[in-house]
Amino acid sequence: MLEPVAIVGLGCRLPGSATDPAKLWHLLLNGEDAVTEVGTDRFNVREFRHPRRDEPGHSYTFAAGALNDIWRFDADFFGISPREAEQMDPQQRLLLELTYEALESGGFPTRCLSGEPVAVYLGTSSADYGVLRSYDPQGLDPYFMTGNTLSVAANRISHAFNWRGPSLAVDTACSSSLVAFHEAHRLVALGEVPMAVAAGVNILLSPIPFVGFSRASMLAPDGRCRPFDAGGKGYVRAEGGVVILLKLLRRALRDGDRVLGVVRGVGVNSDGTTQGIALPNGEAQRALLTRTYEGAGVDPAELGYLEAHGTGTPVGDPIEARAIAEALALNRPATSPLLMGSVKSNLGHLEPASGLVGMTKALLILRHGVIPPSIHFREPNPAIDFRRWGLEVVRHTRPLPVLGEAPLVGVNSFGFGGVNAHVLLQGLPTSLPASSPSRRVRARGALDAPSAADGLPPLLVSARSDAALRRQVAAMAEHLEVVGPDGYGDVAWTAAFRRDWHPHRVLVRGARSVDEVAARLREFALADPSAEDVDAGVDQTTAEPHSPERDRPAPTVYPS
């Protein structure tokens, strides 16, 4: 029997400088459009551009949701030589960074999971970097194959963090990452692994896919993704990555982990035979939705929002909308249509990573209780009868309806080869205890309320180098200004007990206020590292890497 599974960690790097979930939420809430154009650092865009759709060897658009910088990578942080890092696909580098960030977001020191059977399932399709490098065979070295094989992109994560569970790549085109999530969820729910990683990545490095999709008339000529809109003429390519951590809900609550969402249902199927392999099958999509909600024991009338696949194509959008309506919305009251939208309107379509990007948006909606607008929706697609089908695209920010015990959000994803996936997410039911460590969890006796004479609890900041330490210290000072006195105890506890302790460290102790802690950190960050006798009111040490022991004191849970 499958046990409830919680999402306990999240890392993302997405267009529009959305380098973490908080920045992504700011982008979505403000209805920003992150689509620009693929950078000239990738290839000669001018050489491959032509306005005519039927021009051989050219693309009529290079609009894209692009990352600012894909080339910088701290190889030493992950114990990788510069020579090997040069041969590694930037997708592998990005995945390592995002996995570490997901662990930090969940408060899981790497040493505590080292040697454990943690599973890794990665949704990925692009081999652009390896193809480009193969044009110069004399430049290949022994690291080329491990640096550019899609299977190794997943294995690289397991190797770097010493995880010994299943580790594999999944390629079902645009539904890859949500299918990877399906597999990761199954292993955790069956109790076969203590934790699993579900990831998706896509980097745009070659003009060839642009040319191919242009020849198939799949890309939007105006360079904008307009889901469910009459002006939707195609999709916009995008790049980035997402890493999500899964753990049994009961264990997450026991361990005081922050629960970002609970998985209520997951489903995958295939279209079978259609008029063309890239043409979607509405009947198969509807069957998947019906089976997923029935299997989860959820009444579709309780669904508060659905994050649609919503690519903005004139064929795909009406088929998806009809399938959603027939499975989930036709029996809803006229006054309560099913709210829907698509993150692709903001970022573009991340292809194999797109499913987890939609899930990231869904998790943020659950956390904040607010649905951001799906932009570029001006005139409804005439092939979609929104009113009769009980559907509504969210045009303006609005509260997330809670129609049952806890808020429910669905996430759709389809691959252009015919593989469909759906995930149903739920916020924590009110009958379960809140799991935020900020108010409920403290290591036994470690950070109890200090007396006036003792000052605030000590705050530890660490990094792998002195330069990185100063950046971390500056970032911590900025963070303390945001969380203020109410959040300081959580920050100090997390830094001490749920972060890796890297060799370069500073410790602030004896401060009387959070403002004083932040001031000391800023003074240290700005001090000249070459100056002698620098005293910014912090203790600085360099030591061997260390992480709190696996058998650290059991947490004490205090009532709300």
Whole-number pLDDT of residue 333? 87
Whole-number pLDDT of residue 462? 92
Whole-number pLDDT of residue 150? 95
What pTM was estimated for this model as a whole? 0.90
- Report the distance separating Cα 395 and Cα 112, nearest Å: 44
pLDDT tens for 167-181 read: 999 999 999 999 999
- Report the distance separating Cα 307 and Cα 358, nearest Å: 6
Beta strands in 189-337 (DSSP E): 196-202, 237-238, 240-248, 261-270, 305-307
Per-residue pLDDT at 346 exceeds 80:
yes
Per-residue pLDDT at 81 exceeds 90:
yes
Decide: 259 and 273 in contact? Cβ < 8 Å. no
Whole-number pLDDT of residue 431? 62
pLDDT band at residue 84, thresholds of 50, 70 and 90?
very high
- Report the distance separating Cα 328 and Cα 338, nearest Å: 8
Per-residue pLDDT at 17 exceeds 50:
yes
Residue 377 contacts by C-beta under 8 Å, 6 or more apart in sequence? 226, 227, 228, 229, 345, 393, 395
CA distances from 276 to 212, 351, 466 (A): 17, 19, 57
pLDDT tens for 206-246 read: 999 999 999 999 999 999 999 999 999 999 999 999 999 99
Specify the amino acid at residue 347. Answer: L
Q: Nearest-CA neighbor of 293 among 260, 263, 266?
A: 266
348: left (phi over 0), alpha (psi -120 to 50) or beta: left
Share of the chain above pLDDT 70, in %: 91
pLDDT band at residue 542, thresholds of 50, 70 and 90?
low
pLDDT tens for 86-110 read: 999 999 999 999 999 999 999 999 9
Per-residue pLDDT at 47 exceeds 90:
yes
3-class secondary-structure state, position 470: helix
Whole-number pLDDT of residue 455? 81
Q: Nearest-CA neighbor of 156 among 252, 75, 46?
A: 75
pLDDT band at residue 533, thresholds of 50, 70 and 90?
very low
pLDDT tens for 473-506 read: 999 999 998 889 999 998 998 999 898 999 999 9
Average pLDDT over all residues of the chain? 90
- Report the distance separating Cα 124 and Cα 132, nearest Å: 17
Share of the chain above pLDDT 90, in %: 79
Q: What average pLDDT score do residues 258-285 get? A: 95
Indicate if the alpha-carbon torsion angle 456, 458, 460, 466 is positive or negative: positive
Whole-number pLDDT of residue 288? 98
pLDDT tens for 286-339 read: 999 999 999 999 999 999 999 999 999 999 999 999 999 999 998 888 889 999
